[in-house]
Every structure is written in C-alpha cells, then in structure tokens.
Structure 1
Amino acid sequence: MYSLLRYGRRSLVLHKGLNLGFVVQKESAFLSSYSSSANAPGGKSRDSRKGKNFTVSYLVTSLGLSKTLAESISKKVNFMDKTNPDSVLSLFRSHGFIDSQISFIITDYPELLMVDAKNSLGPKLNSLKSRGASSSELTQIISTVPRILGKKSISVYYDSVKDIIVADQSSNYEFPQGHQGNKIRNVSALRGLGMPQRLLLPLLVSKSQPVCGKENFDASLKKVVEMGFDPTTSKFVLALRMLYQMSEKTIEEKVEVYRSVGFSVDDVWEIFKKTPSVLKVSKKKILNSFETFLGLGYSRAEFLMVVKRYPPCIEYSLESIKRKSEFLVKKMNWPLSSLVLHPQVFGYSMEKRIIQRCNVLKALLSKGLLKKGSELPSVSSVLSCTDEIFIHRYVTKHNELVPVLMAIFNEGRSAP
C-alpha cells in the first residue's frame, strides 16, 4: 500500500472556541442591486473622490471607526448620501444590535451599507425572528458571521452557525447523531485548523460529502494535514474532497496508472499537492495525454517534466494541447524544449492571448525589429507576462508602428 503520509508532520488538533469572523470574497445575488457613485457608468473620478471622502467621514462619525480603517472600507464601497447607510444602521439597532456589534458587521461586510434595508435586509432579519430566534441569539450569530446576510438560504446558514456556536460554548456538548451532528463536528474541526469563512460557509449547508461523514472524514483530514496543505486555501478543501471520495484501493490503482507512464510514487503526490484534481483524472485520459505528447514529438522525460511543472495540463482536452503545441512549434518555430520549460502556455487562451501576441511578434520579425542574434524571444517573455508588460516590451517602443501593432494586439480580444 502506498503511503499518503510522507510529506512532513503536522499535529491535528480539533479544538473549539475560535472566532468565525473571517473574510469572504464571493457573495450571492443579494447584493445585485448594489451600486455606488464610483462604479456608476460614466461616473467621473471627481465624483468618486467625493464619494470616498464622504464615506470615510460617515464611517468615522457614525460608527467611530479609525480613519485608516474607514479609508480601507471606502475602497470597497462609497456613497455620497447617508440616507441608505442610516436606514441600515437604524434597522440593526431596532433589532437589538449594539454599536460594537454593528461596527464589526460593517467592517467585515461593508457592502451591507448599500443594501435596501426595508425590502432586502429587513425581511431576512424578520424571517429569522419569526422562526423563534431571540434577540440575543440573532445579534450574536449575525455579528459573529455577518456574511450569512448575503446568502439566499439564510435560515439554513443561521441554524448551522447556531449549532456550532452552541457546541463551542459547551465543554460537554454532545454532537447529535446523523449528518447534522457530523457536520457540526467536522466544520468545528476545520475551524480549529484556521479555515476561513469563505470556505466554511458552503460546507455549513452541504448535504453531501465530505463534511457529513465521520470516520472517513477524520482519516482524510489527517492525510491532508500531514501532507502540508494550507487550510486557508481552496486547495485544502479540494484535496480533502478527493481523498474522502476515493477508497485506498482506488487511489492505489490511480497511482499505478501514473507509474505506468513513468512517474514515481513521490512524483504523483508532489503533483497532487500542486493540483489535487489530478487524482480524479481517468486512466484513459492519462494514457491518451501521454500518447498525445509523444505523438507531438515530446520524449517521455519531457512529458513527465511538463506535467510535474504544470499538472493542470493533464486535464486539458487533447485537441487543445495539440493545437497549441503545433501552432507554437510549427508556425512560430519555438523549440519543444521551450514549451517544456514553460508548460503554463497550455493554459492560455488561443484566441485571446496566444494568436494576438504571436501576430505582433510576426509583424516585428517581418520588419527586422527584434534584437539581432535572437529570432524569437522566450515563450515566457511573450506569453506569460501581463498585457501591460507585453505592450511595453513589444509595442510602445516602436513609435511609428504603435497604431498598427495595437490593432493586431486587440484583434478578436473582445470576442466572447
């Protein structure tokens, strides 16, 4: 049996009492009506500055925030009128939230200041109270995890957070039986490892694997932790899901497939640490990918190097790999070795990056404007840089050709 636990040791501590106040980056359609003067179509920079200045002043005056914190928040939302923010703060106060709780809520989730208090926010709070939530429970849970107010199924999130808070506050808490008990226990364990709210919230309402399991969850979590995955990243969740869903036998069989094309066991787990989803790639896809690269002229060693450097390429369509490789090698005359050194190029859009940039390069070559002694610059210097850097390197320094080169660069880039 192949050992999964060979990449360092970290103790697995499942403890309670940690804060749920982490940062979330993605919100639901709850904020779809959000708008600000800074983001309005045709809005002028002067209006944006006024909005930011007004926002900073409002946050300092109304919530007692420091100017530094208020300026940070103004980068996310800003407004030039206090009507809506005032209605939001008044709504919270009417539901029993104290100023320190409101300050935390707005600091963690400032977009709430732009929400319609009467038609969007109010009904959510009222629905929770109608289900029996007391004022103290409501204020505690919302101020602990403000971002559940941005979720469509708020009652489900609310109940899950409530259960976890109860478990945290009781030293002799007994987890209920079944999925909900396992979920509370497992999410508490992930919180104990420092997993942020943006990753926990989806797990709180999950009715599927892995957080509803028990023994298999513990074993999978232990493996992921001992492999050294960072629990603050989505890669940790993906690795946990991959190991949870696959039996030891299935994992061993998948490792054997990778070994059959030349990877060592250590290679497989190093690749897994970079891109956990490689474990779900089918045997047929792995073998076909290997044959495709060999058919394009790559050696076995070069194929192994490509995948080890950039594991996602094993998941790309064979047609995409073939098309990009043939274009860059046969039409642009870069050697295969350059793609082996920079396999990230297989992940770039053919239509919106590769073709346009290569056409700019062809135009420069046709006029002899590239440096002598090097017909082509490196693949990475052309394809791996940002648009701004590319334009600086290959467009703006050729003053008389800028309009023509920019036209080539932009051709087809606006296409869907």
Structure 2
Amino acid sequence: MYFLLLHGRRSLELQKWRNLRVSIRNSFPFSTIPFSSTVSPTKDGRKGQIFTFCYLIDSLGLTPKLAESISKKVSFGEKRNPDSVLKLLRSYGFRDSQISSIVTAYPRLLVVDAEKSLAPKLQFLQSMKGASLTETVSKVPKILGTKGGKSLSVYYDFVKEITKADKVSKFETLCHSLPQSMQENKIRNVSALRELGVPQRLLLPLLISDRKLVCGEGKFKESLKKVVEMGFDPSSSKFVEALSAVQGLSEKAIEEKVKVYKRLGFSVGEVWEMFKKCPVSMRLSEKKITQKFESLKVFGLLEEDEIVSVCKKSPECVFGASEVKIINSIATYRDLGFRKDEFKTMLKSHPQCIGYSEETVKKKTKFLVKKKNKFMVGKMKWSVKAVALHPQVLGYSMEKRIVPRCNVMKALMSKGLLGDRKSKLPEKESVLVCNDEEFLKRFVRNHDDKELVAELMAIFTKDHAS
C-alpha cells in the first residue's frame, strides 16, 4: 500500500498538481531541437521559448539551465530585435560578460525597442559624468527600464554614489553627501539600509523596483527598528525579507497569523523563531499555511506533531516551497526506490531533502547506488537505505566533494592500500560525511610514502577544482 495516494487515490486537487508536474517536465525538450536562425515569429508561446532558449546559448553563451530559466520570463520568435539590442550595448563598450549579467538580471531588455527606447537612455546616461556607464548599468540593469529622464538621472546618480562609497568604505556619510534634490523617501530609506550594512546586491534592486518596501517614511522606520531589534543580519537577504514581511502586515494581521500557527501546535516563541529562519512564513495566508501541512499529512508521512518538529527545524523547506514542489519531491524519492518509512526518516532528520531539485536528487542517488559506476569502488557503493540514513549527502557537491573522494578511494583500492576483497573497508558513510581536513588526514596524509601522498593530493585537488 506504499504511497497509495500517489497511485491514483489523491484528491482532485492533488491530481491536478500531478498533471502539472508532467506538463512541466515535458514542456522543454530542448536537447532535441537544434538552433535555427530562421524560426519565424509565432503566436505559439512554446516555440517562442524554444527559439529564445537557443538564441541565448548561441548569442550569449549562457548555460542551458540559465537559458531555460530566462526563456520562461521573456520570449521572442525572431532575432532581429535582440540582435539590435546586443549590437547597441556592444557599441557603448559593454563586454559580453557584462551583457550576459544584464540579460540575466533584466531579461525584458531583449524585447525593448533598441532605437526608440534603449538608445536614448544609454546616450543620456553616457552624457553624465563621474561614473562608468558599463559598470553602473551592469550593477543595476533595471535602471534601463526607468521611465523619464529625471528619474533616470536621480537613480543613476544614487547608484553611482553607492558604488563610489563602497570603493572608499565611507558608507556613513552617503546619505548626507547626496544633492538635496535626491532626498526622497526611496533614496533616504535605501541610504539608511546602506548605513546599516545592507550590501549592494540587495540595495540596488530595491532602488529600481516598484515595490513599496522603501517608499514610505513612518512605517518604514518603525518596521526597520523591529527587524533590527529581532537580530537579523543586515548583510543577509533574510534582513530584507523580514523587513518586507513586517512592513507589509498590520499588527492585527500579525496577531492573526500567530493564532493560525498556534492552532497547528506552535507556541508563540516558536512562531517567531521560525520567522527568523524563514521570514516568508509570516506572509503566507492561512490557506497556504494549512495546505502545506496537508501536503505532508495526506500521504500519511508525518503526524501533526512531527510536521511541527520539521517546521521548527527547517521552516524554509516547508514554507518556502510550493505545494507542487512538496508533492513532486515525494514522488521523486518514491520513483528512486525509497520506501515510505525511509523517506519519513529522511524528512525528520534532514528536512532540506524536500527542497532539493528533482535533477539533483536523481543524479546523486543514482551515482551513489547504481551497480556500474566507474568512479565508485565496488564495496563503497551505497544502498538506498544508507542514503535514507544519511540524507545530508544529497546536499553535497558532486564536483567538490563526492567525485574527488570517490576517486581517491578508487586509487587506494587499486594500489591494494585498502586491503583485499575480504578486508573490512572504511565505513562508506564516513568517507563522504567527514569534512575535508578529516578526510585528508585519514586517507591521504597518513601515508609515509611522500610520492603517494603527492599523487593522492593531485587526484583530490584536481577533481575538487574541476
């Protein structure tokens, strides 16, 4: 009866999620479609996405994964306009690496009118003194989406000041050094965040975005004070997420959210501890919160008290994931051969396992457990049960941890330094679970032969860096 509901007895809503999973999986069979510059414009959105995907790889050298992500945000059916945009950017001195970063952060730039919209803005920005056009635009590409010369000038000057302040480490005088005409709410609030230590990568998007987070005055100050008092680190993205959550909710709304969590079994203190780990938990509606609980309960995986325990340990894995993501994750582990009790064990000990992508879980599980694996010593192969008992291995990097260590163990075995077939090998779990220093101490530096140590280190560092 294992995962019975996954085999046809789900509710109508869960069945809809399952169908969505199939449609998503089949929506981008890119590897079978060659790039062609002759694809004509079409109203078929899927064809537009395919053309865009191929164009991004061919013209900008983006990775397939990144190209696929961008093609879901913007698509086009012919290359004339994006070619004009790229040509214009290059004529202003933008390097291909900068253009790739700009397009990644602001994909819609590829579909703007290069001559009527983009060219005048670049010409205007280039006429302004005191900052590198390419450097500033690369840091905050969405400035090119700003409407009106005055707004463009104000934001450009402020971005320039932030960049300059970062270089000379004089953040505390930033706000006061700006021209009086720039003392608007948004600029003042972004300046306040900068003085607290919020980094450029978080500040500049706020400056250009349409979000109301930094547009107010009294509410902003009050919310900022609360977030600082809660102990959030200004250099982390959670600081901005928490500020957004607190500012977007009234005191009454916050009280109602706390009541929802209390009904589910959390104490008030636990609610705020979860908020510190996952600020989005306070922004979810009552319906969303209960749906996430039901997604885990509906399969009989966890009891209510166990779900509460998982949420307290790693709330971002539950509240930061959609219901579709949770359902898909359960199905992925089932398809790989994990039993219900094994997945339950994984979820309780390492909730992050539900947040790993389907591709990651499949790739690493198959690498560790498959019978024929040129990287893995026969006796060092894992079982599905072993992975379930040590689910943290699914979060380890293949390139920097798993493969380098497997290659070192394979080299030791080939030299007879791990004993013969009847000898007891090191516990396979310990080979991957220990940190780098411990691994090197146990399996590389413990040999008297200096040439052997050098050879093993070469294997480890070569694969580790690849």
| TM bin (shorter chain) | 0.5 to 0.7
Corresponding position of 1:246: 249
C-alpha distance 190-145 of structure 1, shift in aligned 2 (>3 A) = farther
Corresponding position of 1:332: 338
CA distances 1:189-219 after superposition (whole Å, capped 9, x unpaired): 2222122233222332344412111111111
Alignment partners' CA distance in 2, 1:307 and 1:215: 33
Alignment partners' CA distance in 2, 1:254 and 1:40: 42
Alignment partners' CA distance in 2, 1:356 and 1:372: 14
Alignment of 1:106-145 (within 5 A): 111=98, 126-128=123-125, 138-140=128-130, 142=131
Does 2:402 align with 1:390? yes
C-alpha distance 396-302 of structure 1, shift in aligned 2 (>3 A) = farther
Alignment of 1:24-63 (within 5 A): none
Alignment of 1:332-351 (within 5 A): 332-333=338-339, 334=342, 336-350=344-358
The amino acid that maps onto 1:168 is: H
Does 2:245 align with 1:255? no
How many Å apart are 1:250 and its aligned residue? 0.6
The amino acid that maps onto 2:218 is: E
Confirm or deny: 8 A CA contact 2:189 2:215 kept in the other structure. yes
Corresponding position of 1:318: 323
Confirm or deny: 8 A CA contact 1:263 1:304 kept in the other structure. yes
SS at match of 2:386: coil
Alignment of 1:265-276 (within 5 A): 265-276=268-279
C-alpha distance 374-329 of structure 1, shift in aligned 2 (>3 A) = closer
Output the TM-score relative to the length of structure 2.
0.50
Alignment partners' CA distance in 2, 1:285 and 1:40: 35
Alignment partners' CA distance in 1, 2:241 and 2:324: 26
Match of 1:354 among 354, 358, 361: 361
Alignment partners' CA distance in 2, 1:336 and 1:278: 23
SS at match of 1:152: helix
Corresponding position of 2:234: 231
Output the TM-score relative to the length of structure 1.
0.55
Does 2:222 align with 1:219? yes
Match of 1:363 among 347, 370, 374: 370
C-alpha distance 395-310 of structure 1, shift in aligned 2 (>3 A) = farther
Confirm or deny: 8 A CA contact 1:221 1:240 kept in the other structure. yes
How many Å apart are 1:128 and its aligned residue? 4.5
SS at match of 2:213: coil
Corresponding position of 2:170: none
C-alpha distance 368-227 of structure 1, shift in aligned 2 (>3 A) = same
SS at match of 1:210: coil
Alignment partners' CA distance in 1, 2:382 and 2:214: 60
Match of 2:154 among 145, 159, 168: 159
SS at match of 2:370: helix
The amino acid that maps onto 1:159 is: V
Confirm or deny: 8 A CA contact 2:219 2:247 kept in the other structure. yes
Corresponding position of 1:190: 193
The amino acid that maps onto 2:124 is: S
Corresponding position of 1:297: 301
Alignment partners' CA distance in 2, 1:260 and 1:345: 26
C-alpha distance 157-230 of structure 1, shift in aligned 2 (>3 A) = farther
Q: Which has the higher contact order (CA 8 A, sep 6+)?
A: 1
Corresponding position of 1:147: 136
SS at match of 2:144: coil
The amino acid that maps onto 1:147 is: T
Alignment partners' CA distance in 1, 2:221 and 2:321: 32
Corresponding position of 2:177: 169
Corresponding position of 2:66: none
How many Å apart are 1:261 and its aligned residue? 0.9
Confirm or deny: 8 A CA contact 1:182 1:212 kept in the other structure. yes
Confirm or deny: 8 A CA contact 1:242 1:280 kept in the other structure. yes
SS at match of 1:269: helix
Alignment partners' CA distance in 2, 1:274 and 1:211: 22
- Which segment drifts farther, 341-350 or 144-153? 144-153
C-alpha distance 348-195 of structure 1, shift in aligned 2 (>3 A) = same
Confirm or deny: 8 A CA contact 1:157 1:205 kept in the other structure. no
Alignment partners' CA distance in 2, 1:125 and 1:355: 46
Q: For structure 1, which runs of at least 5 residues remain unmatched after alignment?
A: 1-31, 42-83, 90-105, 400-416
Match of 2:204 among 201, 205, 212: 201
How many Å apart are 1:222 and its aligned residue? 0.8
Corresponding position of 1:376: 386
Q: For structure 2, which runs of at least 5 residues remain unmatched after alignment?
A: 1-55, 64-88, 103-114, 162-173, 412-466
CA distances 1:306-327 after superposition (whole Å, capped 9, x unpaired): 1122222224343542453466
The amino acid that maps onto 1:332 is: F
Q: State how many pairs are aligned.
A: 287
